[in-house]
Structures are given as C-alpha cells and as structure tokens.
C-alpha cells in the first residue's frame, strides 16, 4: 500500500545534500530524492523546503498507485471537468472528455465526478489506489469553490483488492481501430468508454499508453 504523507516541513538542504534534485531546489519548485529513496515534490526558498505538496517514503512505495489529475472549471457552485490525466511510474496519458460528459456536472452538481465514475471504479476494482488532484482552470474563488478544492484535491482512495488485476482494453470497432472509441472493463464488470474524437492522440496511441500504464 502506498502512503502519501502530506506534511508541512521546513528542512535545510544541507542536511540532505547528498540527494538529487530535479527542477529548482534553491528558489522555486522542484523534486528532491533523498539518499534513502524518499521523494519530496514541492516549493523551495533559499535552499529550504518551505511548502508541502507530496512526500513519498520509498520503503512504502508500491507499484499500484495511479495519479489522477482532473482539470475543470468551477463557477456558480458547479464543477465542470473537461480533462483527466492518468499517470503511473512517470508515464501519463491525457484524456479529454466530450461536451456531453462535461455537461453531466452541470446537470447534477451533487455528483461532480459522474462523468468519470466508472473509470474510477475500474481502477479501484483492479487494485489501483488513486491519488486525485484537482486543477481549477477558471474559478470564481467563492467559498464553495475553495471548499470543493479542499474536499477533493490531494484525495487518496485505496484499491479494493490487494493485487493488480487485468483491465480489458479494446477498440469499439476492431476492424478499424483508427475509427474507434476505446472500451475499458474491469474483472468486476465496471465499464467505461473513452471517446477518441475529442483527443489529440490517435486511438492506437491511447491504447498503447493505457496498456503500459494499467497493465
């Protein structure tokens, strides 16, 4: 089981000077790998870690974590998502939603993730734990907006089973994959369709990436 410790830290880099940095670990955003293998992703000022994001202990790091980034707008008490990005082991694939899927959030504000609920169920049913982050592209900065982000950003849902189970990934039109949507189905019978007309990548490219990430 992967555990993300969301922590507020204020450490001097002199105490971890034998690690490795990617980005700006002096004055900016960066990723720091400690000699132990632990990783920190966040903000730095004068060589110090000053703002928490995610701290991952290497000893607790499994291979069954999916990072799910959700982009959308939040206005007038409604979240309307238009993009999700699935990432595992530094390999990612963006998936754009159709206008019909985006509109589901407008039709039922009480179920803001209805458009991807079966995708979430597939991942959980297949043994993946989901680390969900929310990125608001256009927001009204209302109290509802801020509460929504507080409730759903940096949210972790544990997989329903301990071992990763295979996800069936197929084309809706196997005779012409380039003119197909992509269908995903879990062992437990959860089903989700990726509509490829809204995505920049071809169906073949999306399936290739999904097979690497999910299987």
Per residue in 51-65, pLDDT (tens digit) is 544 555 444 345 689
Check whether 17 has a pLDDT greater than 70.
no
150 with 204, same domain: the answer is yes
User: What DSSP designation does 180 have?
Assistant: -
96 with 145, same domain: the answer is yes
Identify the band that residue 130 occupies on the pLDDT scale cut at 50, 70 and 90.
very high
Do residues 55 and 5 make contact, with C-beta atoms less than 8 angstroms apart? yes
**Residue 35 pLDDT:** 62
56 with 117, same domain: the answer is no
Place of tokens 């437990």: 188
- pTM over 0.95? The answer is no
**Residue 192 pLDDT:** 97
139 with 155, same domain: the answer is yes
103 with 185, same domain: the answer is yes
Compute the chain's Rg from CA coordinates. Answer: 19
66 with 35, same domain: the answer is no
104 with 10, same domain: the answer is no
91 with 188, same domain: the answer is yes
Among 60, 79, 96, give the residue marking a domain's end.
60
**Residue 19 pLDDT:** 64
Q: How far is residue 85's CA from residue 93's CA, in Å, rounded to a whole number?
A: 6
* Strand boundaries in the chain, DSSP class E: 4-5, 20-23, 28-33, 39-45, 48-56, 65-75, 78-88, 91-96, 129-139, 155-157, 168-171, 182-185, 191-194
**Residue 21 pLDDT:** 82
199 with 156, same domain: the answer is yes
77 with 162, same domain: the answer is yes
Number of structural domains, the chain?
Answer: 2
User: What DSSP designation does 128 have?
Assistant: -
79 with 20, same domain: the answer is no
Check whether 5 has a pLDDT greater than 60.
no
Among 39, 60, 81, give the residue marking a domain's end.
60
Check whether 178 has a pLDDT greater than 80.
yes
Q: What percent of the chain has pLDDT over 70?
A: 82
Q: How far is residue 171's CA from residue 167's CA, in Å, rounded to a whole number?
A: 13
106 with 210, same domain: the answer is yes
Q: Any long-range contacts for 84-89 (C-beta under 8 Å, 24+ apart)?
A: 84/116, 84/119, 86/210, 86/213, 87/213, 88/128, 88/213, 88/214, 89/63, 89/213
Residue 17 sits in which domain range? 4-60
Identify the band that residue 147 occupies on the pLDDT scale cut at 50, 70 and 90.
very high
The mean pLDDT of 183-208, rounded to a whole number, is 94
Mean pLDDT (the chain) is 84
């Amino acid at each position: 089981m992967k555990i993300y410790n969301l922590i507020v830290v204020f450490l001097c880099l002199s105490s971890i000077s034998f690690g490795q940095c990617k980005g700006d670990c002096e004055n900016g955003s960066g990723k720091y790998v400690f000699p132990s293998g632990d990783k920190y992703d966040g903000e730095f000022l004068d060589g110090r870690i000053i703002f928490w994001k995610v701290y991952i202990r290497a000893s607790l790091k499994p291979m069954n974590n999916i990072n799910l980034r959700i982009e959308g707008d939040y206005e007038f008490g409604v979240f309307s998502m238009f993009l999700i990005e699935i990432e595992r082991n530094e390999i990612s694939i963006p998936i754009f939603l159709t206008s019909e899927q985006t509109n589901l959030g407008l039709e039922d504000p009480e179920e803001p993730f209805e458009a991807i609920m079966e995708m979430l169920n597939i991942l959980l049913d297949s043994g993946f734990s989901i680390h969900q982050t929310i990125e608001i592209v256009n927001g009204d900065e209302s109290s509802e907006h801020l509460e929504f982000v507080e409730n759903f950003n940096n949210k972790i849902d544990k997989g329903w089973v301990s071992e990763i189970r295979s996800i069936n990934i197929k084309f809706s039109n196997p005779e012409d994959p380039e003119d197909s949507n992509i269908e995903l189905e879990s062992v437990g019978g959860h089903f989700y369709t990726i509509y490829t007309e809204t995505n920049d990548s071809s169906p073949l490219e999306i399936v290739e990436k999904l097979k690497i990430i999910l299987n």
